[in-house]
């Protein structure tokens, strides 16, 4: 196009380029404004939804690549991360011990090795600690499978075990724990206590555990285990408090001293410790009161679900009161509905109802199957619920 | 046209979209048509300009300010339509100006001339095309072109010159 042509074009354009815009068209376009406004709103909503979807997918991808394990090494401990894939995360406890908290429902197996012990979990919180030539495993919630030298043990919430197992307990009740002490000789510092305590719990003594979850009275030969961080040191070295004795694993002496001592403080950690002293010294009936006290007065405490679960176990396994046990397990589920403990509690509730010959067992077993179709406890639940 | 509450404009004195539309629809349609160079898409452009006015809750201004504001919105939205067209053309989904779509009651040879002009403009980048159209078809002064395009005066000049070169390259070659 030459400059002359362009000039002519422009002149024509200025004069002639006009739309066919008459009143009828103006009215028609104006009438369409509300509908177009609605279309704009729908498009904005759709774009917003698409943006949310994209963000969710990206977030899910990021989260799926994130570790499913929170590791809290004990003071001076060394933990090596050996492998992380979409299927497996593998750690090795080189020295000392560490708490491992595994997010449930992420479908990734977590394996922790310590010496020749291998602990495998899907969703739980547990401690693996090397103590001299042995390895100590404590499960706070969920279920873990621990194996060593061809021997495999399944540990439920609240259970602990030593590898290799030691069946001989020297002079039971004489205050000499057969397991090596898990504490350092000197009293732990406040910082150490804090580092060892649960994330949601202030630096208080942690509940004491010993032996597998359902020991029968008289057969309690498993080595006692002291969970870390005693916050209540013995007042008198010559006359140790029941707390110190319990933490050293001497539950029989702790029981004797506790009976003569003032009542335990009204704190969840202390009440849990008192309950453990009672049940592990073969006084399960006496364990009920402190556990019930936690549920009555400290239901919002993060340890309350564990207290309810423990109460259910004592009632079912030690006292043979399945109907009350079922109520306790149900309480544990209510207090921790999304936690791995809820699945365990649900399964044990079905078992308790079955043992109480309650017709509810079947319906609950069906509900369990619906809620946890991939549960490792499903077979047992179906058995207790009488499902085909 | 029915007045809907969500289309009511804010500010004292309140101006409804109906009023606003009745006063400026023709102005927006004319400007939009010259920027687009075609009739298709013009109705949507006009509606979008007035919806943008409603969303912005325009307060009544002077006649001159309101026209200026509407022109700015029209240029911005026309630019969006033109960019979409370029993309469609890239994928072979837009065949360019159609003489039948260049309306007006002009004589056929004038319409053909306009079609040729806008076909050449289609080859120019959108921002440059808008600046050139405002300057030479709308006869806007340079500073107003820069304001409507949201760019500096120097940029506006550069854009206009680029299209001018594109349109007269035959002459330059000769």
pLDDT surpassing 90 at residue B156:
yes
A81 assigned to some structural domain: yes
What is chain B written as a DSSP string?
----GGGPPPSSSP--HHHHHHHHHHHHHHHHHHHH-SSTTHHHHHHHHHHHHHHHTPPP--HHHHHHHHHHHHHHHHHHHHHHHHHHHHTT------TTTS-SS--HHHHHHHHHHHHHHHTS-HHHHHHHIIIIIS---HHHHHHHHTS-HHHHHHHHHHHHHHHTHHHHH-
Q: Confidence class of residue B171 from pLDDT cuts 50, 70 and 90? A: low
CATH number for the domain that contains residue A89: 2.60.120.1440
B167 and A1: CB-CB below 8 Å?
yes
Q: Give the domain ranges of chain B.
A: 1-100
Q: Is A260 part of the contact surface with chain B (CB cutoff 8 Å)?
A: no
pLDDT surpassing 60 at residue B148:
yes
A150 assigned to some structural domain: yes
Q: Is the preceding omega at residue A227 within 30 degrees of 0, hence cis?
A: no
A108 assigned to some structural domain: yes
Q: Which of residues 83-122 of B touch A (CB under 8 A)?
A: 102-106, 110-111, 113-114, 116-117, 120
Using a CB-CB cut-off of 8 Å, the residues of chain B touching A32 are 43, 47
B33 and A17: CB-CB below 8 Å?
yes
Structural domain boundaries enclosing A127 = 67-165
Q: Minimal Cα–Cα distance from A40 to chain B, Å?
A: 9
Q: Confidence class of residue B125 from pLDDT cuts 50, 70 and 90? A: very high
pLDDT surpassing 90 at residue B103:
no
Q: Is A27 part of the contact surface with chain B (CB cutoff 8 Å)?
A: yes
Measured between CA atoms, the residue of chain A closest to residue B54 is A37
pLDDT surpassing 80 at residue B72:
yes
pLDDT surpassing 60 at residue B172:
no
Q: Is B19 part of the contact surface with chain A (CB cutoff 8 Å)?
A: no
What is the pLDDT, as a whole number, of residue A107? 65
Q: Is A24 part of the contact surface with chain B (CB cutoff 8 Å)?
A: no
What is the pLDDT, as a whole number, of residue A45? 92
pLDDT along chain A (388 residues), means of 10: 78 76 90 89 91 86 68 84 81 88 73 88 80 81 80 77 60 34 33 32 32 34 33 46 76 86 85 87 90 90 87 90 93 84 88 90 91 84 87
Q: Confidence class of residue B15 from pLDDT cuts 50, 70 and 90? A: low
Q: Minimal Cα–Cα distance from A33 to chain B, Å?
A: 6
A205 assigned to some structural domain: no
How many structural domains does chain A have?
1
CATH fold, domain B1-100, is Rna Polymerase Sigma Factor; Chain: A (1.10.1740)
Q: Is A7 part of the contact surface with chain B (CB cutoff 8 Å)?
A: no
Which residue, A231, A267, A225, is CA-closest to A246? A225
A125 assigned to some structural domain: yes
Mean pLDDT of B61-67: 77
ipTM score: 0.80
What is the pLDDT, as a whole number, of residue A71? 86
Q: Is B171 part of the contact surface with chain A (CB cutoff 8 Å)?
A: yes
Optimal mutation site among A13, A23, A35, A43, interface B, most CBs of chain B within 10 A: A13
């Amino acid at each position: 196009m030459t400059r002359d042509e362009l000039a002519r074009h422009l002149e024509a354009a200025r004069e002639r380029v006009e739309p066919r815009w008459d009143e009828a068209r103006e009215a028609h376009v104006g009438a369409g404004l509300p509908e177009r406004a609605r279309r704009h709103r729908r498009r904005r909503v759709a774009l917003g939804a698409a943006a949310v979807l994209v963000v969710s997918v990206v977030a899910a991808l990021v989260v799926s690549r994130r570790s499913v394990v929170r590791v809290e090494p004990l003071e001076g401990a060394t933990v090596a991360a050996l492998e992380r894939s979409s299927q497996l995360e593998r750690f090795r406890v080189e020295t000392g011990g560490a708490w491992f908290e595994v997010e449930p429902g992420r479908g990734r197996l977590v394996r922790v090795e310590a010496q020749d012990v291998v602990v495998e979990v899907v969703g739980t919180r547990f401690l693996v600690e090397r103590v001299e030539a042995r390895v100590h495993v404590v499960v706070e919630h969920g279920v873990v499978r621990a194996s060593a030298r061809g021997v495999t043990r399944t540990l439920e919430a609240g259970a602990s075990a030593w590898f290799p197992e030691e069946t001989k307990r020297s002079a039971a009740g004489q205050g000499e724990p057969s397991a090596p002490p898990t504490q350092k000789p000197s009293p732990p510092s406040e910082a150490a206590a804090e580092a060892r305590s649960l994330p949601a719990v202030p630096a208080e003594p942690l509940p004491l555990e010993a032996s597998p979850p359902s020991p029968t009275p008289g057969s309690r030969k498993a080595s006692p285990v002291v969970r870390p961080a005693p916050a209540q040191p013995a007042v008198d070295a010559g006359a140790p408090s029941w707390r110190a004795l319990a933490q050293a694993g001497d539950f029989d002496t702790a029981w004797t001293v506790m009976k003569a001592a003032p009542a335990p403080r009204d704190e969840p950690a202390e009440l849990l410790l008192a309950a453990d002293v009672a049940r592990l010294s073969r006084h399960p009936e006496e364990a009920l009161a402190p556990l019930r006290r936690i549920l009555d007065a400290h239901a919002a405490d993060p340890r309350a679900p564990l207290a309810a679960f423990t109460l259910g176990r004592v009632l079912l396994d030690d006292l043979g009161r399945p109907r009350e046990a079922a109520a306790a397990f149900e309480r544990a589920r209510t207090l921790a509905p999304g936690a791995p403990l809820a699945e365990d509690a649900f399964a044990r509730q079905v078992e308790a109802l079955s043992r109480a010959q309650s017709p509810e067992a079947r319906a609950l077993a069906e509900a369990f199957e619906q809620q946890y179709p991939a549960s490792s406890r499903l077979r047992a639940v179906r058995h207790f619920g009488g499902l085909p | 046209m029915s007045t809907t509450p969500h289309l009511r404009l804010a500010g004292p004195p309140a101006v409804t979209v109906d009023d606003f539309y009745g006063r400026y629809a023709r102005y927006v349609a004319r400007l939009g048509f010259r920027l687009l160079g075609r009739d298709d898409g013009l109705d949507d452009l006009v509606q979008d300009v007035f919806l943008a006015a409603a969303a912005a809750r325009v307060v009544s201004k002077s006649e001159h300010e309101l026209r200026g504001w509407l022109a700015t919105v029209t240029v911005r939205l026309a630019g969006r339509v033109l960019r979409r067209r370029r993309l469609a053309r890239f994928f072979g989904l837009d065949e360019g100006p159609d003489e039948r779509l260049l309306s007006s009651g002009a004589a056929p040879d004038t319409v053909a001339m306009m079609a040729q002009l806008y076909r050449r403009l289609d080859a120019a980048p959108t921002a440059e095309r808008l600046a050139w159209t405002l300057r030479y078809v709308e006869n806007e002064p340079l500073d107003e072109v820069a304001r409507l395009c949201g760019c500096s005066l120097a940029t506006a000049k550069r854009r206009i010159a680029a299209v001018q070169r594109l349109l007269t390259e035959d002459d330059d070659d000769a």
